[in-house]
Chains A and B, each alone.
Chain A
């Protein structure tokens, strides 16, 4: 105990000793009287609690917060996929706009004054059409390919035509020549005349175009579903219109863009702001800017994809391109930089690949995505190391010969070691003195991260790595109570966040986070006055909100703790019996498999000499086996490490628990594949 701790002790004892409760005799009488009458009062208070609960629920309903939240900053994480150039196709001078439709990829070659029709199956240019006036953008409706030119003209190619034809009066749009931006969906072509009107043309009806009343000088248009999006440049905002009626729905400030692009997907509009290379995601429902994704580059183009948007950015000086994939709550930078054959200019995503025009190279590039080779889990990094463990203050590696060496042993607390699927990356929780808990990464081998990598990832607690290497962590709370779980690739902002349900308005403390074997489900323990285990399906789609649901409950008087997933067995928990808040009077413990129907006992834990309690943990240990005489080996039965923060055992269902000669272990991560058969 240091001087500061002594000061704490003396101050608190002085406070306690300076006080004496008033009239203990009267209190005793009240206590005995109340105890005798408690049954009656319990019934009455039950009514009171029900009434109070209803009142609280009503207040909560009335007090829902109408404030607009700040956009979430969503820095892109490194993707697990890389882009590979699978074709580079010459199209003509200065290829500009690119679009997909009618089974083909269409490229407007501004300098060559042509439009190229490409078959994505063969990656060959089938036809080259002449379009005078510098074709710069292209869009495809159900029956027509539309091309705009730098001189403000509109050209169309209809089925059966063998050439593009210019519309003499721009389909009645009128006005002087000026840049046109086009967007297409179904049979509708939306044309935004720069600093002029927005019109919609039905390619099958040939009717007089419908006009939308945009405000200010508008330059860009996008459409999806019921909503049409327009960038009103002079007002520095993105406006939304009802597609059916043309009614203005609202507008969202997006700032000065310098250069920009606009796209739309289910429920969202996406605006690329070139001034600071930021993608802004706007919710169609209410116009709220829900996220901002900072990117690299000075120029960008967006293409709507199946589950989000693709963003290509470029540096106008180097001609180097970057490719991003952004969903509603996840942003990835595809293995970059993507070196293209000239200034990247426009992008379109198709099922057959990502197509990017190279303005100065005279080509269009097709990119396909392939997974970045992941290290095989069976390649154990160091067969000499069996596991990493925390004593609650430092993290050590444990070797087959029984020796240990410190891996993370700073002046603060290092806890909760977690290993990547390959076993080559260790993440853990560090609590430096005077600072908040943070999650650290240390490269154990050098082929995933640079040699010697040891860095802070983010603030948080209880890190867990999924079978695919995705990180989950408990986000730090403002009041010391952490109640939110973040999920995302390493070194990213969370792509999903799980709010843990409260009990009677009281937030829990979330602990013991772990992934299920599939990498799609999380388990954790929530400490209220009581304890509960929860399961969370982590959605693949950004539109789905993750929801925590309680694991099947234990029987009355039982409490489940320390959820874990053994790859060969399934989800387990330590089942403590019997007690209830506040009198947890546990006398027995067992490791139980959680099944659809309840529980199956894996192994009883009563003979370990551990007092059953919440300090117990069970960590999957593969098939590790241990005997004091012969040491460590691969066994034939799935096994677990079980401890209570003081003693540690290796247990399985086929033999007596083996005491492991380590003291004070509070958490543990086993190296995949250890020990080696070699």
Chain B
């Protein structure tokens, strides 16, 4: 049987739980929108992004007592979000094909490439979503989250060499698929 310790007539355990709930709610408020954006940029599906972030939050903060370094909560959460996104991509090959088809269709009708235009951004983002899951995650973490390669390796649970290799492959594929020569001589 658990022992309830009273302090000034208030259960210490209960107080701790309330404090933890408040802390977790605060963490949710701080991280929910940025993590949803991260997942959305990786997946291109708002509903799925929010579903995944919810799952990541549950996973991460259900192990709250195991997280020693609270200041790194965002790192744990980002890792969970990215890995859930990668799992989702791997399991949704049909969706990936649809993305690829829509991208190719867009490419055929591509307007003039203007780095400032929404249309160019949309096509670049579509091309990123056509990458294999690990390369896609590397690109988004590098260019959307602006993480250095060491932190990307930490998030993905791989070596820095793997990150460099994946980023290189991804850039090569994107340059090829987008056609750098028509992107205003961007090389």
Q: What is A's interface to B at a CB cutoff of 8 Å?
A: 2-17, 19-22, 24, 27-28, 30-32, 34-35, 38, 390, 392-393, 412-413, 415-416, 429, 431, 433-437, 461, 479-481, 505-507, 509, 511-512, 527, 529-531, 581-585, 587, 611, 613-615, 617, 644-646, 666-667
Contact = CB atoms under 8 A, between A and B. Distances in A.
B63 interface: yes
A24 B33 contact: yes
Contacts of B86: 529
Nearest to A582: B80
Interface of B: 21, 24-25, 28-29, 32-33, 36-38, 40-41, 44, 46, 49-50, 53-54, 56-63, 66-69, 72, 76, 79-80, 83-84, 86-87, 90-91, 115, 118, 120-122, 124-125, 128, 131-135, 139-140, 143-144, 146, 149-150, 153-154, 157-162, 164-166, 168-169, 171-172, 174-176, 180, 183-187
B150 A31 contact: no
B158 A511 contact: yes
Contacts of A581: 83, 157
A20 B33 contact: yes
A635 to B, nearest CB: 27
Given A16-B38, A431-B169, A645 B175 contact: no
A476 B43 CA distance: 24
Contacts of B161: 390, 392, 415-416, 645, 666-667
Nearest to B79: A582
A27 B72 CA distance: 23
Contacts, number: 226
A509 B131 CA distance: 15
A30 B118 CA distance: 34
A235 B146 CA distance: 66
Specify which of A3, A11, A646 lies most central, judged by the most chain B CB atoms within 10 Å of its CB: A11
A63 B36 CA distance: 37
Contacts of B185: 3
Nearest to A42: B62
B160 A666 contact: yes
B79 A583 contact: yes
Given A4-B186, A12-B140, A614-B159, A585 B41 contact: no
Given A27-B28, A480-B131, A481-B134, 14 more contacts: A4-B180, A10-B115, A12-B124, A16-B144, A27-B32, A28-B32, A32-B28, A34-B58, A434-B176, A435-B172, A437-B169, A512-B159, A529-B86, A645-B161
Nearest to A39: B62
B160 A392 contact: yes
A21 B79 contact: no
B143 A35 contact: no
A35 B160 CA distance: 34
B172 A434 contact: yes
Given A4-B183, A645-B150, A22 B169 contact: no
Interface centre among A32, A527, A583, A646 (most CB of B within 10 A): A583
A3 to B, nearest CB: 4
23 contacts: A7-B124, A8-B139, A8-B174, A14-B125, A16-B40, A27-B54, A413-B165, A431-B168, A435-B172, A480-B132, A506-B91, A509-B162, A511-B159, A529-B86, A581-B157, A583-B67, A583-B76, A585-B68, A585-B69, A614-B157, A645-B161, A646-B150, A666-B160
Contacts of B124: 7-8, 11-12
A141 B36 CA distance: 78
Contacts of A28: 25, 28-29, 32
A10 B117 CA distance: 10
Complex A-B, nearest 6 residue pairs according to Cβ-Cβ distance, in ascending order: A480-B132, A645-B160, A11-B124, A3-B186, A11-B121, A21-B36
Contact of B168 (A2, A10, A14, A413): A413
B168 to A, nearest CB: 5
Nearest to A9: B143
Contacts of A481: 132-134
Contacts of A35: 24, 57-58, 61-62
A200 to B, nearest CB: 54
Given A27-B32, A392-B161, A9 B144 contact: yes
Contacts of A31: 28, 32, 54, 57-58
B90 A506 contact: yes
Judged by DSSP, the binding face of B is helix
A413 B184 CA distance: 26
Contacts of A615: 150, 153-154, 158-160
Nearest to B72: A585
B157 A531 contact: yes
B187 A3 contact: yes
Contacts of B36: 19, 21
Contact of A21 (B46, B68, B131, B165): B46
A148 B37 CA distance: 82
A383 to B, nearest CB: 28
Contacts of A416: 161
B58 to A, nearest CB: 6
A412 B186 contact: no
A14 B90 CA distance: 25
A506 B32 contact: no
B179 to A, nearest CB: 11
Interface-centre pick from B66, B84, B134, B165 (highest chain A CB count, 10 A): B165
A14 B118 contact: yes
A461 B159 contact: no
A2 B60 CA distance: 36
A22 B53 CA distance: 13
Nearest to B180: A4
A480 B180 contact: no
B2 to A, nearest CB: 16
B133 to A, nearest CB: 8
A579 to B, nearest CB: 9
Contact of A529 (B87, B164, B174): B87
Contacts of B80: 582-583
Contacts of B53: 21
Contacts of B91: 505-506
A480 B135 contact: yes
A4 B179 CA distance: 11
Contacts of A3: 115, 184-187
Contacts of A527: 157-158, 162
A429 B159 CA distance: 15
A51 to B, nearest CB: 17
Given A390-B161, A527-B157, A14 B121 contact: yes
Contacts of B187: 2-4
Given A437-B165, A583-B80, A615-B153, A479 B160 contact: no
Contact of A645 (B122, B159, B186): B159
A478 to B, nearest CB: 9
B180 A583 contact: no
A91 to B, nearest CB: 61
A479 B134 CA distance: 10
A6 B63 CA distance: 38
A433 B185 CA distance: 17
Contacts of B128: 8, 11-12
A615 B66 CA distance: 23
Given A413-B165, A480-B169, A8 B150 contact: no
Contact of A584 (B79, B140, B169): B79
A32 B41 contact: no
Nearest to A476: B169
A56 to B, nearest CB: 11
A585 B187 CA distance: 40
Nearest to B61: A35
Nearest to B59: A582
Contacts of B149: 645
Contacts of A393: 164
A6 B169 CA distance: 17
